[in-house]
Structure 1
Amino acid sequence: MLPALAATPGAELAAIASRDPAKAREAAARHGGRPVHGYAELLADDTVDAVYVPLPAALHAPWTEAALLAGKHVLAEKPLTTHAPTTARLLALAHARGLVLMENVLFLHHPQHATVRALLDDGAIGELRSFHAAFCVPPRPATDIRLRPELDGGALWDTGVYPLRAALHLLGTGLRTLGAVLTRTGDHPVDTAGAALLRTPAGAAVHLDFGLDHAYRNTYELHGSHGRIVLDRAFTPPPDHTPRIRLHTPTGTRTLTTPPADQAARTLAAFATAVRHGTPPDDPATLAQATLLDELRATAARTPA
């Protein structure tokens, strides 16, 4: 995010705050800005217009709220919070104060998904029958923050957001939860794997897989009445990656390419534009995602082991 910020026109890295002064100095020496000891001191700085909150999931809500109350625009890491009513409250607070609050879901700003949506809207695969998405990564070190329950670690909050948000982005916000499973492996105190089944208002099935201890998967597929669309490297393509979208139909397979894109830079540019023009993003998927994440956790808790 910091290199992308340096490349974003109209944005300047003013400061980097850390609980550890040495870490703040080291990061500022590499990326620019002035080092600040503590987040509260940064929020008290009237020369700062906006903040990026990249903290562990459990800290997103309190520091996002503190930033909004300090009059700062906020780009907050996903998930914005781990409780849907809290997400709703923060979105309302930002709206009431005329501030931009944007959840940092980078892949939404990559143009490859617009190509997929256009194929879907144009009927390239007929009527949608099902959507399959997976984001799974290899095992994390035991000390990784994603495995700490007090920081709201776990696969659902970390990798589960990606396939769920892809479904919302491509299929709309009317998804309904049918089932979910969250599991732990080894002696981990948080869920390290999960799967969910949802459906669209039209009855298409939505299959989601996610995990923190898997062979790497980063893909989604849309299956229709007479074809399917497959996209690999769906969520974290490097800036120099040329996306390849495979369209399978009865007449054969066609591969469409889109230009490489830096989705971090595009996200920051969208955020900066919203701040400059005072046009907060009207994205109902942020709250819909939070609501569905709550539903998936509750549903998994009721599922017999």
Structure 2
Amino acid sequence: MPGGRTPLRLGLLGCADIAQRRALPSLARLRDITLTAVASRDAGKAESFARRFGADPVTGYEELLARPDLDAVYIPLPAAMHAPWAGRALEAGLHVLVEKPAAATADEAARLTRLARERQLVLMENFAFVHHRQQQAVRQLLEEGAIGELRSLSAEFAFPPLPETDIRHRPELGGGALLDAGVYPLRAARMFLGDELEVTGATLRVHHEHRVDVAGAALLTGPTGISAQVGFGFVHSYRCGYTLWGSAGRIGLHRAYSAPDDFAPTLTLECDGRTEERRLTPDRQFTTLFRKFAEAISRGDVAGPARDIERQARLVERVATTARRFPL
């Protein structure tokens, strides 16, 4: 840990694809955190992950939580399993970094964050994109008045149809586009418009066979009247960005949520009838996320990450309860 302390000992609870492709390679760059053990219900998968990333293999999630040599866990399980296993990890006395959404409902988020506060443990939700330097570049332009006063935001995250067997088509595992893709543009709206957003309208398109939403949109309004329109789904062409529209111009960011470590983002600035494309430097958002997690633990910052989870869950739930549902 910072200041010459012993590195944070982390366990992986669930050998998901996102852990293999993005999270664990990013974690390996840090000296503040060491991957101690990885757990899967499949002994072969645990062994494969452990061999690749230099950790102990564990068969079973409860077995991982019972280990005495862990300080924290990272949970990349399917969405419906996030809150239950995060709760068990907190009860075991472990700090938790959990994939989005940390909770599927506001009540679930409140129970989870209350437990974290009672145990004085850090519970953080993985929205790695907010830590990418490209978001800082956008905020700086806003603060400088590059597009005048902000009037509205539009944000989208969608991608082509998934295989029929994909777990995001399974309602019992927390599937659906809102919880998988929609949470990203909603988090972006909070980032620029604040937490007092009202959902003034929403729609969800529901797949008749899988019984999960596969597309959706929402209109949000902040307390000063600034609006945000968000769209999401997995029956679209690929879109992963947002646009801020001001009184004097527009800022557009492409590949806003899932930029790979070696990807140089492009920011578009439209002002005074001219369009300028700015190539930004690559950044390792997952590495920064893990560093922020370790720093929060070092500072004892329990309240900040918990509060963020509660606010995100309330907004997502308001979209879900407001939405009119239509067949795909």
Whole-angstrom distance in 2 between the partners of 1:132 and 1:5: 32
User: Following superposition of structure 1 onto structure 2, how do residues 230-245 of structure 1 map, counting pairs within 5 Å?
Assistant: 230-245=252-267
User: Following superposition of structure 1 onto structure 2, how do residues 1-305 of structure 1 map, counting pairs within 5 Å?
Assistant: 1-185=23-207, 187-250=209-272, 252-280=274-302, 282-283=304-305, 284-301=307-324
The aligned amino acid for 1:243 is P
Give the CA deviation at 1:233. Answer: 0.6
Q: Residue 274 of structure 1 contacts residue 281 of structure 1 at CA under 8 Å; is this kept in 2? A: no
Give the CA deviation at 1:30. Answer: 1.3
> What percentage of residue pairs aligned between the two structures are identical?
49
- For structure 1, the residue ranges without an aligned partner over 5 or more in a row are none
From the superposition, tell whether residues 207 and 151 of structure 1 become closer, same or farther in structure 2 (CA, over 3 Å).
Answer: same
Whole-angstrom distance in 1 between the partners of 2:159 and 2:277: 26
Give the CA deviation at 1:157. Answer: 0.2
Alignment: residue pair count: 304
Range that drifts further, 103-112 or 284-293 = 284-293
Give the CA deviation at 1:280. Answer: 3.3
Over the aligned positions, Cα root-mean-square deviation in angstroms equals: 1.5
Range that drifts further, 235-244 or 269-278 = 269-278
Whole-angstrom distance in 1 between the partners of 2:326 and 2:229: 19
What is the DSSP-based 3-state SS (H/G/I as helix, E as strand, rest coil) of the residue aligned with 1:12? strand
Q: Residue 137 of structure 1 contacts residue 214 of structure 1 at CA under 8 Å; is this kept in 2? A: yes
Listed one character per residue, the Cα deviations across residues 149-186 of structure 1 (whole Å, up to 9, x for unaligned) are 00010000000010000110122111110011010246
Whole-angstrom distance in 1 between the partners of 2:53 and 2:115: 31
Range that drifts further, 247-256 or 223-232 = 247-256
Q: Residue 220 of structure 1 contacts residue 232 of structure 1 at CA under 8 Å; is this kept in 2? A: yes
Range that drifts further, 70-79 or 264-273 = 264-273
Task: Normalising by structure 2, report the TM-score.
Answer: 0.89
What is the DSSP-based 3-state SS (H/G/I as helix, E as strand, rest coil) of the residue aligned with 2:277? strand
What is the DSSP-based 3-state SS (H/G/I as helix, E as strand, rest coil) of the residue aligned with 2:281? coil
- For structure 2, the residue ranges without an aligned partner over 5 or more in a row are 1-22
Give the CA deviation at 1:251. Answer: 5.1
The aligned amino acid for 1:230 is G
Whole-angstrom distance in 2 between the partners of 1:289 and 1:11: 27
Whole-angstrom distance in 2 between the partners of 1:199 and 1:286: 20
Whole-angstrom distance in 1 between the partners of 2:111 and 2:208: 37
Give the CA deviation at 1:281. Answer: 6.2
Whole-angstrom distance in 2 between the partners of 1:304 and 1:38: 40
Q: Residue 9 of structure 1 contacts residue 269 of structure 1 at CA under 8 Å; is this kept in 2? A: no
